[in-house]
Amino acid sequence: MFERRNQPVISHAEWRRRVAYSIVLAGSVIVFSLSVGILGYHFLGNLGWLDALVNASMILGGMGPVDHIDQAAGKFFESFYALFSGVIFIGTFGVLIAPWAHRMLHRFHAVDDENEEEPPAKRKTRSAAGSQARH
């Protein structure tokens, strides 16, 4: 999906498309995850739709549950959903930050590559040979 180190930095317009794609992908994952939580809290936790939305949103956002669940099935769902939400929270953040981090790192490498006159492997070989000759 991203260009490699030896490829040029993409244009700003292409990068904006990449950011938009990441936002859409992260938003889709959040909507799917929120839907799973709402359905689980409604059917397994016996909460109303609005209470199910509040609980699913709070857990998905990392805040914790609002309502107490009494049924065993609801408690199992709640523990599964809390673990699932933690992974989704971290993964979604990674998807959102990836275009910015990649562009920043790629630009640093591109600047380094422009300043290099010879490949790093030759430079290491030459410096190693020079240090051996001095000893």
pLDDT at 110: 57
pLDDT at 59: 93
Q: Are 52 and 60 in contact (CB under 8 A)?
A: no
Does 38 score more than 90 pLDDT?
A: yes
Q: What angle do CA 81, 30, 50 make, to 5 degrees?
A: 70
Q: What percent of the chain has a predicted confidence (pLDDT) above 90?
A: 50
pLDDT at 112: 53
pLDDT at 64: 82
Residue 21: pLDDT band (50, 70, 90) is very high
Q: What CATH number does domain 12-100 carry, 1.10.1740, 1.10.3470, 1.20.81, 1.10.287?
A: 1.10.287
Q: How does DSSP assign 8-47, residue by residue?
A: PPPPHHHHHHHHHHHHHHHHHHHHHHHHHHHHHHHHTS--
pLDDT at 101: 83
Range with lowest mean pLDDT among 10-14, 33-37, 114-118:
114-118
- What's the whole-model pTM score? 0.70
Count Cα atoms within 13 angstroms, Cβ side, for 12: 0
Token couple for 96: 């959102």
Terminal C-alpha separation, the chain = 48
pLDDT at 15: 79
Write down the domain spans for the chain.
12-100
pLDDT at 12: 79
Token couple for 126: 């030459």
Average pLDDT of the segment spanning 65-77: 91
